Amino acid sequence: MTKEIPLEQEAPQSQWETLFDGTTLDQWRGYLKPGMSEQWSIVENALVFTPGKEGGQNIITKNTYTSFELSLEWNIAEGGNSGIFWGVHENPEYPEAYQSGPEIQVLDNERHPDAFVGEGKHTAGALYDMIAPSQDFTHPAGQWNQVVIRIDQEANQGTSSMNGEVIVTFPLHGPEWEAMVAGSKFADWPVFGQFATGHIGLQDHGDMVSYRNIKIKRLN
């Protein structure tokens, strides 16, 4: 039996927008698509991605967000990889959501090869390929982990929390952000991290992954 993780209680529920409550996919659609991919489905109140023959089945929120706090839980299959994007800008010139949206990594740290390269910048909770988590607070594959991603454009600060512990803090724009991007695989990507306002995205990385209790609070 997996451990239940409580949702954030710091704000009244009226301030939170439910993105997925276990019953409907109405807040989501495929990236560059009008509807949802059949590879995403609701199973036991979770939003589950099941790999298929066709890749690139990333999904995004129908709404866009600028400054926000995003709370959700993820459960990755053994050896699995996925990710959570923000600031995703849809453009047919960029066929993947990750070409514009920065990513908080979702990973089986015990088994996936990414956990053993990149000086921790590819492990679960990392700002992918830019900042490694300060510590590993993840639960093993097959168990639920709660992530809270806070993006405050006015304060120029983002944070990623894993199971109640802040593990990554980062700027969102300006010289420090530009230096991080320049030192990463995204250095030559023309629109990566360029949009303060964009969609939230969940990644198809070819592995089974589940998400649940997804909600968001706009900061301003």
pLDDT in tens, 143-187: 999 999 999 999 999 999 999 999 999 999 999 999 999 999 999
Enter the tokens of residue 4. 């239940």
Separation of alpha carbons 181 and 164, rounded Å? 27
Phi and psi angles of residue 16, each rounded to the nearest 5 degrees, phi first: -100, 140
Contacts of 96 (CB under 8 A, 6+ apart): 31, 56, 58
Enter the tokens of residue 204. 């198809």
Please count the residues of the chain: 220
Amino acid code (one letter) for 201: G
Q: What pLDDT is recorded for position 4?
A: 47
List, in order of start, the domains of the chain with CATH numbers: 29-218 (2.60.120.560)
Q: What pLDDT is recorded for position 7?
A: 45
Radius of gyration of the chain (CA): 16
Separation of alpha carbons 119 and 114, rounded Å? 10
Q: What pLDDT is recorded for position 39?
A: 94
Secondary structure class of 90 (helix, strand, coil): coil
Cβ neighbours, 10 Å, residue 94? 19
pLDDT in tens, 132-146: 999 999 999 999 999
